[in-house]
Amino acid sequence: MSTTTPRWQRKGIVIMVTVLLAALAFGTTTRTWLNVTLPAANVVTPDVAVSGSDAATAVTAFAVVGVAAALAAGIAGRIARWIISVIIVVSGVGVAVASSRIISDPLQGAAGAIGKAIGVSSAEGTQVELTPMPYAALAIGILIALAGIWLALAGRHWTTSRRYAPTAEPGDAAPDTGAAAEGTGAAPGTSPDARNPKDAAAGPPVDEIDSWDRLTRGEDPTDPK
Is there a domain that residue 162 lies in? no
Whole-angstrom Cα distance, residue 179 to residue 223? 30
Let me know whether 36 and 113 are in one domain. yes
Confidence of residue 207 (pLDDT cuts 50, 70, 90): low
How many domains is the chain built from?
A: 2
Domain hosting 85: range is 7-157
Is there a domain that residue 163 lies in? no
For the stretch 148-199, pLDDT in tens is 999 888 877 676 555 444 454 555 544 554 544 454 555 555 555 445 554 4
- At which of 102, 129, 157 does a domain end? 157
CA 202 to chain centre: 59
Is there a domain that residue 167 lies in? no
Q: In this structure, are residues 42 and 118 in contact, taking their beta carbons and an 8 Å threshold?
A: yes
Let me know whether 112 and 206 are in one domain. no
Let me know whether 143 and 32 are in one domain. yes
Query: 3-class SS at 220?
Result: coil
For the stretch 62-118, pLDDT in tens is 999 999 999 998 888 888 889 999 999 999 999 999 999 999 988 888 888 777 766
